[in-house]
Structure 1
Amino acid sequence: MRVIAEQPYVKVERYIALTGKHYIEDDRTLYLCTDRILSKYHEFPLEIVWDVSYRRVGPRGGLLYLHTKKGVNVYTVKESPEQFIEAFRNVK
């Protein structure tokens, strides 16, 4: 299992306190390996990954969609994942 590409993403958690709504950003990384895609808590064998796509939201970031046999997983990215998507398509 060799890492081919990496894509930083952010997990945003929202919580409500007496002082109002608060957001916590946790910086994480997606790893494209020769046989799977790994996130902090999930592992997706490439056999079940159909496609990876991106939708720009706002001036800088957007949403990275991982289309799998078990559904779609969405990751918030702050920079364009074009190189990650290109690497995925070359491996797939």
Structure 2
Amino acid sequence: MVFRHPYVKVRREIDHWNFEQKYIEEEFWVELTEEKITTDELVFSIEKVFDLSYKMLSEGYGFFYLHTSKGVFTLQVKENPSEFIEKFREVERK
């Protein structure tokens, strides 16, 4: 493994007994190797990833975009993924 970066998924649950909404945050990792990028659900070969970018929306969260041959996939991040993007530039194939 070359590098990895945390991302989060937030899901909403309804507590029917107390009539409350709860937001549950789960942490996952996007991993970069010389051959692929892997999330908890998807795997992209390096040849199929055209670019990576991000946009921080607030001090709490931002979006990390994977531009691939299958479309753009968005990961919600709490930390700037610029180091991950730099590592990708070292192994990307054009």
TM-score, length of structure 1 as denominator length: 0.90
- Indicate the SS of the match to 2:85: helix
Partner of 1:10: 8
Asked if 2 retains the 8 angstrom alpha-carbon contact of 1:7 and 1:29, the reply is yes
Farther-moved stretch of structure 1 (59-68 vs 45-54): 59-68
Partner of 1:67: 67
Partner of 2:58: 58
Q: Which runs of 5+ in 1 are unaligned?
A: none
Question: 1:59 Cα deviation (Å)?
Answer: 1.5
- Indicate the SS of the match to 2:90: helix
Asked if 2 retains the 8 angstrom alpha-carbon contact of 1:61 and 1:80, the reply is no
- Indicate the SS of the match to 2:59: coil
Inter-partner Cα distance in structure 2 for 1:20 and 1:73 = 31
Partner of 2:33: 33
Question: 1:16 Cα deviation (Å)?
Answer: 3.2
Question: 1:90 Cα deviation (Å)?
Answer: 1.4
Partner of 1:45: 45
4+ aligned runs moved over 6 Å, structure 1 = none
Partner of 2:76: 76
Q: What are the superposed Cα offsets for residues 21-49 of structure 1, whole Å, 9 maximum, x if unpaired?
A: 22111111010011100111211111111
Bigger strand fraction: 1
- Indicate the SS of the match to 2:41: coil
Inter-partner Cα distance in structure 1 for 2:23 and 2:60 = 19
For the aligned residues, what is the CA RMSD? 1.2
Partner of 1:85: 85
Inter-partner Cα distance in structure 2 for 1:66 and 1:31 = 12
Q: Percent identity?
A: 40
